[in-house]
Structure 1
Amino acid sequence: MMSYEEKLESKGYKLSTQANKRIFEAGVRTGNLIFVSGNAAKVEGVLKYKGIVGDTVSLEEAQDAAKIAFVNCLATVRNMIGSLDSMIRIVNIKGYVASTSNFTDQPKVMDEVSALAIEVFGEVGKHSRVSLGASSLPEGTPVEVEIIVEV
């Protein structure tokens, strides 16, 4: 049986091993929950997309950005506990989408993340979720994702 990390890799996603370089923690564990800080769509430390969804970033690009940001959240979990296979459940996913005032498809951006979570993790990937619009996000990322997982 493939590990969760192998399943992600089979879909083209590789978990980063980069260390947190922020003033705050990449993730905080309290009891059996890990709260992962917001992640952008960075690949090897570089933003894959920059801009505003509905203006310079398409829905499809935003969906890809959201999946990359989600995988970066999962990398934090793996780096904290050693293996994604130790996860009991993805409890919550929050997605922030830098979008124009008339863009209302934030849920469609995050639907791709939800689908990936369930496809890779099955029952463990079933989660609650919120999708929010924002006028801008750090460094110009079009999407930021944070998660809470039970371990």
Structure 2
Amino acid sequence: MTVEKRLADLGLALPEAPQPLGSYTAVSEAGNLLFISGQVPLVNGQMAFTGQVGRDLSVEEGRAAARTTALNVLAQIGRHLGGFERLERIVRVEGHVSSAEGFHDQPGVLDGASELFAHVLGEQAGHARSAFSHTQLPANAAVALVVIASIRAG
């Protein structure tokens, strides 16, 4: 089953890969690794989830922001590789959550991304993950993901 079919089963589609917000590349390939620059919850070029989880957004909205951001990660991988045939697995996810003071469920928010990866990629989704809390992220994004993936030789 393809990534696109698994997304369709969830009522989702792979978006266009967002353009970087600054002067850097969205994906850098080194050996058998892909380094995906920080992705945020952009939809059609607009920030879909802004502010702090626990103040401006609920945990469920934060999880939705993480899912949207994970879709953008997949879009970057698909664009860079020309599909998903060479993707071996997601190795590491570094999740950043814009959080209100006293909010401590960053791992729960980031589960939105991890669960999407698991549903769409199956065994290729197993990854190590770190969760970080910030008072503000670039462009007032609610969530940002930095991902490392392993790939097969092209």
TM-score band w.r.t. shorter chain: over 0.9
TM-score (norm 2): 0.91
Note the alpha carbon deviations across 1:18-60, whole angstroms, 9 max, x for none: 4635310001000110000011111111111111111011110
Q: What count of residue pairs does the alignment treat as equivalent?
A: 150
Aligned equivalent of 1:109: 109
Aligned counterparts of 2:13 and 2:121: Cα–Cα separation in 1: 16
Aligned counterparts of 1:141 and 1:13: Cα–Cα separation in 2: 21
Aligned equivalent of 1:83: 83
Aligned equivalent of 2:146: 146
Unaligned runs of 5+ in 2: none
The SS at the match of 1:23 is coil
The SS at the match of 1:107 is helix
Q: 2:18, 2:76 within 8 Å by CA — same for their partners in 1?
A: no
Aligned counterparts of 1:112 and 1:43: Cα–Cα separation in 2: 16
Aligned counterparts of 1:71 and 1:135: Cα–Cα separation in 2: 24
Aligned equivalent of 1:67: 67
The SS at the match of 2:107 is helix
Unaligned runs of 5+ in 1: none
Query: Per the alignment, do residues 112 and 147 of structure 1 end up closer, same or farther by CA in structure 2, a change over 3 Å counting?
Result: same
Aligned equivalent of 2:25: 25
Same amino acid, percent of matched pairs: 33
1:122 aligned partner, one-letter code: G
Q: 2:53, 2:100 within 8 Å by CA — same for their partners in 1?
A: yes
Aligned equivalent of 1:58: 58
Give the CA RMSD over aligned residues: 1.3
Q: 1:52, 1:98 within 8 Å by CA — same for their partners in 2?
A: yes
The SS at the match of 2:91 is strand
Q: 1:5, 1:84 within 8 Å by CA — same for their partners in 2?
A: no
CA-CA distance at 1:146 after TM superposition:
1.6
TM-score (norm 1): 0.93
Note the alpha carbon deviations across 1:68-117, whole angstroms, 9 max, x for none: 11110111111000112321010011110000120000000011221221
